[in-house]
Amino acid sequence: MKRPTKDTEESARRISRRAALLGGVQLTFAGVLLLRMRSLQLGQADEFRLLAEENRINIRLLPPSRGLILDRNGAVIAGNVQNYRIVLVREDAGEPRAALERLAQLIPLTPEEIERAEREILRHRPFVPVTIVDQLNWEEVARVAANAPALPGITPEVGLTRFYPFGAEFAHSVGYVGPVSERDLEARENPDPLLMIPRFQIGKIGVERELEENLRGSAGHRRIEVNAVGREMRELDRQEGDPGVNVQLTLDRQLQAFCLARLGEDSASAVVMDIPTGNILALASSPSFDANLFVRGISVADYAGLRDNDHRPMSNKTVQGAYPPGSTFKMVTALAAFEGGFATPDERIFCPGHIEISDRRFHCWNRGGHGRVNLVSALSESCDVFFYELAQRVGIERINAMATRLGLGERYDLPLSGVSSGLNPSREWKRERRGAEWVVGDTINASIGQGFVLTTPLQLAVMTARLASNRAIVPRLVHAIDDVEQPIADQPSLGLSPEALAQIRRGMWEVSNSNRGTAYSSRIVDAALRMAGKTGTSQVFSITTAEREAGIRRQDQLPWNRRDHALFVAFAPDTEPRYAVSIVVEHGGGGSSVAAPIARDIILAAQSGGLPPLEAYPAPQRNRIESMIRTISDQIGPPAEPNPGRSRA
């Protein structure tokens, strides 16, 4: 059927309008596209040209200088020194073995070092610089630089490396740095890109490790032009990074050096604390080691010597060593009894030399007995039976609580490696860890610091500071970070009975000032410097029946590692306590004969701010003491100068 003319015309008009609309949209889109293309090609041409250039520009990180570590007086105890090194680029040097043999004609390289360097070179791409040797002296570097035309691909460079001017004095507390290892990277969830720089050094132990984030600083960078295969062509610009911040510790270099020298070759430790602030003034662990050995790359022989030494020079005994405290623990038992109302200061207990408990005999160190003793005389003469009796009345729960109150069994938050919490045992602990019930014999042993009780030298110093002050002293090692002084922890009152504390302090005073005291021979005669202390001797092994039958009767007849530990704790001056000290000499024997004399010398050095004053000693001892002080003075020298020693690739 033929459509009417009118309908056909209307349809045509609609189609024309739609076509016009569609054409307009298309023209508009094309116009916008043309305008955008014009903007990109003309207005933003420079920007996109720069982006294209960036495709052949690499960013390389620049390691920052590491922050310094200083003692309380500002002496640098961990610093940075220039490090001269030799690097080799294989593509410029040619065959590695020939290049290394040419280099060996100028600086000493053994065949083993050449083989090791060659393996390192072949592990990397030809254009990557590989460090062959570092820690060179200026003469060696100058010799290589002067022969540069004959050594293509071999270049001397200069950087910074860590140096410890006092060598072994702070090795355990400050620690040391070393190259980043795979273990270091795995221990971090998102490693700092700095750690990927070849031979970059980070803290391995001690303050260097625990405050790594502060000391490391932030990287700088340089923009370099590289070719299609990534080879460096030229440096375009450079921006240095931010150096690590400086850290100031509370340690006193002079006192630290004296402590270490006084401990000598013994396997021993000493801790000195400033009671009002909790500042740790000395943390000495003997024997020590030169931290610089690890920075340079310690040799197999040197490391084996440290590892196999039975005196454990690599262990920080001040915080890692956990020892039975022996009689230095007796103040804990006494305070637990007095605070609980189970004894009075004037009460006297008869000591016949032993006590029978549950069909077992517990001996006093004085097999002949001490007779009737009160708290003061029991502490002064270190009577064991007195404290056996108190322990039966008090029980382990109160002894455990008092030990906690005095700071034992606590792991202190210090930037040191492997800080131990020791062991403050309880019924629950034995049930959970040993699968056995607590018995009265355990309490008897704990009352004199034997059995399961373990303490660190640091904890013993804290305990002594708390006894001297009746405040919850907390040890403090970091004085300032980036010149910002760190806060001193709150030191609330312990709330201990002043009357009981007075008796405890009186007993400690008589230990070293009464002619019946166990440390009377280590007394201080200057009234302004006198100390109050407590001896301790902790048993490691008993002399067996077979050994007694073989004639072994004394500790000095046993092998060294089976002898008793010697301990001593003290505070001074006795009237207004300022310093607390603890000494532990592993397998040293008696606390009165071995540890007490060391503590006296150290606490006198702390009070005098230098070497101990000779007039503070009893007159008959002064000739011997003068000789000892002279020897120690000779050992405490100025900071060491860097001694270049080669490290290997």
DSSP string, 217-278: -B-EEEEEEE-TT--EEEEEEEE--BPPPPEEES--HHHHHHHHHHHTTSSEEEEEEETTT-
The rounded distance, in Å, linking the Cα atoms of 147 and 107 is 12
**Of 632, 365, 591, 560, nearest to 460 (Cα)?**
591
What is residue 102's DSSP assignment?
Answer: H
Helix (H, G, I), strand (E, B) or coil at 80: strand
Boundary of a domain, candidates 216, 249, 282: 249
Mean pLDDT of 213-240: 75
- Alpha-carbon dihedral 114, 120, 123, 127, rounded to 10 degrees: -90
Are 386 and 378 within 8 A, CB to CB?
Answer: yes
Pairing of strands 69-70, 360-363: unpaired
pLDDT at 484 (0 to 100): 95
Mean pLDDT of 298-312: 91
Domain count, the chain: 2
Asked if residue 50 has pLDDT above 70, the reply is no
Residues 6+ apart with CB under 8 A from 543: 552, 553, 558
DSSP output for 130-183: EEEEEEE-HHHHHHHHHTGGGSTTEEEEEEEEEE-TTTTTTTTTT--EEE--HH
Same domain, 223 and 280: no
What is residue 416's DSSP assignment?
Answer: -
pLDDT at 496 (0 to 100): 95
Can you give the pTM of this predicted structure?
0.85
The rounded distance, in Å, linking the Cα atoms of 187 and 439 is 43
Q: 330-339 and 457-469 helices cross at what angle (nearest 10)?
A: 40
Mean pLDDT of 263-267: 95
Same domain, 310 and 261: yes
Helix (H, G, I), strand (E, B) or coil at 25: helix
Boundary of a domain, candidates 227, 249, 271: 249
The rounded distance, in Å, linking the Cα atoms of 213 and 210 is 8
Same domain, 316 and 209: no
Same domain, 527 and 552: yes
Same domain, 237 and 292: no
**Of 290, 306, 286, 388, nearest to 343 (Cα)?**
388
Asked if residue 264 is part of any domain, the answer here is yes
Same domain, 241 and 273: no
Read off the CATH number of the domain in which 105 is found: 3.90.1310.10
The rounded distance, in Å, linking the Cα atoms of 381 and 128 is 72
Please report, for residues 61, 244, 343, the alpha-carbon distance to residue 218 in angstroms, rounded to integers and kept in the order given.
10, 7, 61
Same domain, 210 and 264: no
> Which domain covers residue 609, as residue numbers?
253-635
pLDDT at 15 (0 to 100): 66
Asked if residue 310 is part of any domain, the answer here is yes
pLDDT at 435 (0 to 100): 94
Asked if residue 304 has pLDDT above 80, the reply is yes
The rounded distance, in Å, linking the Cα atoms of 634 and 511 is 32
Residues 6+ apart with CB under 8 A from 573: 528, 529, 530, 531, 607
pLDDT at 649 (0 to 100): 41
Q: Residue 47: which pLDDT band, with cuts at 50, 70 and 90?
A: low
pLDDT at 287 (0 to 100): 97
pLDDT digits (tens, 9 = 90+) for 319-331: 999 999 999 999 9
pLDDT digits (tens, 9 = 90+) for 330-382: 999 999 999 999 998 889 999 999 999 888 999 999 989 999 999 999 999 99
Asked if residue 615 is part of any domain, the answer here is yes
Asked if residue 25 has pLDDT above 60, the reply is yes
Asked if residue 606 has pLDDT above 80, the reply is yes
**Catalytic-labelled residue, pool 173, 285, 286, 327:** 327
pLDDT at 298 (0 to 100): 84
Q: Residue 26: which pLDDT band, with cuts at 50, 70 and 90?
A: confident
Same domain, 322 and 188: no
Q: Give Cα 618 to chain centroid, integer Å.
A: 37
Percent share of the chain, pLDDT over 70: 89
- Give the burial class of 29: count Cβ atoms within 10 A of its Cβ; 0-12 exposed, 13-18 middle, 19 or more buried: exposed
Cβ-based neighbour number of residue 52 at 10 Å: 9
The rounded distance, in Å, linking the Cα atoms of 151 and 201 is 29
pLDDT digits (tens, 9 = 90+) for 113-164: 888 888 888 877 787 777 788 778 888 888 888 888 888 888 887 878 899 9
Mean pLDDT of 418-439: 96
pLDDT at 553 (0 to 100): 61
Asked if residue 239 has pLDDT above 70, the reply is yes
Asked if residue 40 has pLDDT above 70, the reply is no
Q: Which residue has the higher pLDDT, 8 or 225?
A: 225
The rounded distance, in Å, linking the Cα atoms of 581 and 252 is 14
Mean pLDDT of 391-416: 97
Summary mean pLDDT of the chain? 88
Boundary of a domain, candidates 191, 214, 249: 249
pLDDT at 648 (0 to 100): 42
Same domain, 228 and 191: yes
Q: Which residue has the higher pLDDT, 526 or 642?
A: 526
pLDDT digits (tens, 9 = 90+) for 534-548: 999 998 876 665 656
Is 286 annotated as catalytic? Answer: no
